Structure 1
């Protein structure tokens, strides 16, 4: 009988400690955070349980991959391919790390607008080259040049060239 009383006293002491801990504001805050994330915790535990359940299947797949790699490495052509791929990646890394490429990345050369303008200029050059090949070269005098300057189709290009010259001049003087 005396032992039953001791158990009750220990239970009450344990209950009192539990009530004190649950009354602590820090504990309350942590419990609220846990309850807020309970759905995520449950999802994470389900995922972990599924992963552990599929452990043998995953291990078998990794084992099959290792066997396949060992078989492939025994063939000289695969070793050569891996060596070539590694060498290509190494050269690519050296290229990307070079000061010239790093400076290129810092410049505005790769700006979308610059690339679009270069594309437009390239298409215009190709079309002009094709037309010149088809029609042949014609002699253009000063009067023909004056007439061409007043052509409304040429005005956007002339404005572009003039603005380009102005801004290039500023860039060169800043350099």
Structure 2
């Protein structure tokens, strides 16, 4: 008979169960179990919301795809040609080597059953964050479709195929270049050329040239104007005059001949140049 107003029978088993229900460890386990039930209920609610939004999202994607097709036709884009090019790329994706890699990727997904749910949560969260930042997901999706159109253009497909072909031949080209280098190195050794020594000398010359270019003397020389076009033109004229004078037959000039040459316009121009040079050089010496 129950004398304590409890719903449990007044038996040894009932007393044991009542004692365990009042145990602190039992209460903690029950509390964690209730928390798990609440979390499961929230997850089911979110999945229900996603399922309810599914038809609307499918309809939105269908409308966007129809609009993109109409826009492509308006711009003179042949969708069939693009699809044909896409099939050519798909043929490469279905090659045995690529299929093996895709199988390995699928096996990873099979080993991670919770990954799809996690990705769904991440995408949902990113959509909310994008909307909070004012990002128009529809416009980004249209931009992605336009990018796909450009990538599937016949000219772009030919370029991509050329790049793929170059990548496939790169290993052979590298091996050929190494063979040519080895052959050239061996010929140089047979001719008595020490390439390592030449390389060391070139490195030494490069270091000395770098030190010269960074020196104060070189900077002063570059700022002096001695290599300016005007200076080089004047020095060139002086050299030509020296050569012409040396090639002319020698002749004797007396005092009266010297006095008469002073009336020559060319001689007067040279004397005026020497006078101006002496004045300017004297000023530089004073400074």
Q: TM-score, normalised by structure 1?
A: 0.65
Partner in structure 1 of residue 74 of structure 2 = none
CA-to-aligned-CA distance 1:71-105 (integer Å, 9 cap, x gap): 22233137425633652563255145334444433
Partner in structure 2 of residue 7 of structure 1 = 51
Partner in structure 1 of residue 183 of structure 2 = 71
Residue 59 (structure 1) aligned to one of 171, 176, 184? 171
**Pair 1:6–1:92, CA change in 2 (3 A):** closer
Partner in structure 1 of residue 285 of structure 2 = 172
| In structure 1, C-alpha distance between the alignment counterparts of 2:209 and 2:228, rounded to whole Å | 20
| In structure 2, C-alpha distance between the alignment counterparts of 1:167 and 1:126, rounded to whole Å | 26
Partner in structure 1 of residue 266 of structure 2 = 153
Partner in structure 1 of residue 275 of structure 2 = 162
Residue 116 (structure 1) aligned to one of 233, 243, 248? 233
Q: Which has the larger radius of gyration?
A: 2
Gaps of 5+ in 1: none
| In structure 1, C-alpha distance between the alignment counterparts of 2:192 and 2:258, rounded to whole Å | 64
Gaps of 5+ in 2: 1-44, 58-122
Count of aligned pairs = 156
Assess if the C-alpha contact under 8 Å between 1:95 and 1:101 holds in 2: no
**Pair 1:110–1:18, CA change in 2 (3 A):** same
Partner in structure 1 of residue 75 of structure 2 = none
**Pair 1:81–1:114, CA change in 2 (3 A):** farther
**Pair 1:52–1:96, CA change in 2 (3 A):** same
Structure with the greater relative contact order (CA < 8 A, sep ≥ 6): 1 or 2? 2
More helix by share: 1
**Pair 1:64–1:19, CA change in 2 (3 A):** closer
| In structure 1, C-alpha distance between the alignment counterparts of 2:208 and 2:198, rounded to whole Å | 15
SS in 2 for 1:23: coil
**Pair 1:92–1:19, CA change in 2 (3 A):** closer
| In structure 1, C-alpha distance between the alignment counterparts of 2:236 and 2:199, rounded to whole Å | 32
Q: TM-score, normalised by structure 2?
A: 0.43
| In structure 2, C-alpha distance between the alignment counterparts of 1:65 and 1:78, rounded to whole Å | 23
**Pair 1:82–1:172, CA change in 2 (3 A):** same
Partner in structure 1 of residue 61 of structure 2 = none
**Pair 1:65–1:116, CA change in 2 (3 A):** same
Partner in structure 1 of residue 222 of structure 2 = 105
| In structure 1, C-alpha distance between the alignment counterparts of 2:181 and 2:192, rounded to whole Å | 10
